[in-house]
Structure 1
């Protein structure tokens, strides 16, 4: 990294590289190999007239190497992995915490994900303590399996708008307590301004997913949840139109220009939320090779690769929901008596997808993901493999649709 802004450049000056390495100080559990390799893939995007070598220096701590799809360079390069030191075996680590919805709205449930790592070989008991604005909100015992990461999920809601300060502490038998505390500042808004990008704005009334999404979001606002929704066409998407919104919804958008995709990438990286509802005319080449390209910033926005469009319409076997994560804020209210309402949802047209570094929140029969979520910078991306309109699913005609849209 060079310059005040942390820009990146390639160099042939190996003595300079050696000097930079000598000046750096070792850290403990502060590496992110996934992010580093993504940046390296961006550097190697253009072809070179000579061979290139990527040298990875690491002590191979498990917490620095996340599971998931690894970025691949466009052009082949040589890679050398150098192990600097044996991994520590006497440390507990509070690695990172993220919000399931990127930001927060008064009264809306959110899910705080906390990644913890135990570097010992044996399972270790510990305690997790969360403070919000200086007051203890949660104290929870946890069992951390040896030499593996663990994700603890904490439901969280805020009763007033403004800046909320979070401090999370991991307590246990530990040789290094300095890496056991995480801090975060969360902006809580009184309302949720959402921008709906309608890819089928010319469709007749009641024939597009955006029609039903808009109706459901307005019904949510009528019921008291503060959601404001505005609608534009894909060609109207600019930096100015994005200003002031917390959520962008792409409804049956066939494709976007690279310039508009870059606007959305920056929007989500900065903490915005993105919902993608695939339509039957989705350009798979755009979604897989452009929006989801591993060489794009942070490995691409798309949480899953589109493989095929399945059509069961006219058959006796539509697809039903068979699994759902009812602890997630999107599906949380379907616990108990409302759980049967999810089972009544059927899909006639759905995309088969392969998730990439993402969570599957709900699945259809045949192991087909229905809702897939991933983090992207400070924001979140939610992919729905079914367009919410009657030709593709009965979802917009059921009582479950409005509660789903409220999340």
Structure 2
């Protein structure tokens, strides 16, 4: 009887201690201003609003809700703003968020020029930024910082995936339609290099101005090149207008194929399969990949009436990871949170066994997709056929080529 009573007392004490530990941990937690604030700065009104915008905001809000709305007993708030694709406007918003509203995390940043500016701001003010919208590889190169993570994708992975893998599919000659500013030049340069390294040939390129409406002459030049693959080194409305023109002029009907170097599900949805069929693209996420991605994507669709793309799914995943890192660190201070983020293995609807490399590059496998023809599509948003899975170490720029000052030489 005494032994039973002693065992019961020990069990009760253990249970009491177990229930007290979370409360004790929360009492010792350090959350600035008793609230964690996440600022989603995105494109709500411009050319990239479909691929980021309200979808990125919804993804961050879903992550906070799925986490329970609190971390270490403190509320989590999501602030939002439209950067209007202006670096000065976006930078001013981010500075005001940090200085006046004590924002802890800057999220999305769907503009490469602004992302480079934000990297400097969060480094100087010791906050965290997780980039899901921009493609610029300098974020993990010369502009890398201890306070930033480049999460969903980048220009190197898009070029490597589409360039190398399409050659394996037989597309060994290329011609580029390139938007004439740094973003397009970078996509073309990265892809051309990878095409040539893998035994392919670049037959030429033509450049067009941003927000171009008439692609007739550019498409006819691409047709005349005889290239098997016409690479679109652009995104947003320019990519859509180029694809429309290619369809109208019979480019794909004549046997050439388009490769979208930064193309999203929403672009295919807007244009339709008749215009986009056969195109190659590289992505980090496809809503219809498995039961888990379908369940998440249908929840997302209920809110914004579109299926999530890789950037938006990346916002969801990285927001969850950030909150888990705060919980593990016991604080929202940038240094300890980044340390936890760089030591975690991330498993969720967006990624399996992902991790943050020392240069801030989030590592995960990528997918080469080909757009279905109308007869192959069986239900709404059934757009892609998986052609290749690209391991993380192959998809992203190797550390040996990095000029990030954080990388050990």
| TM-score, normalised by the number of residues in structure 2 | 0.28
Which structure shows the higher strand fraction? 1
Bigger RCO of structures 1 and 2 (CA < 8 A, at least 6 apart): 2
Q: With structure 1 as the length reference, what TM-score do the two structures score?
A: 0.28
The structure carrying a bigger helix percent of its residues is 2
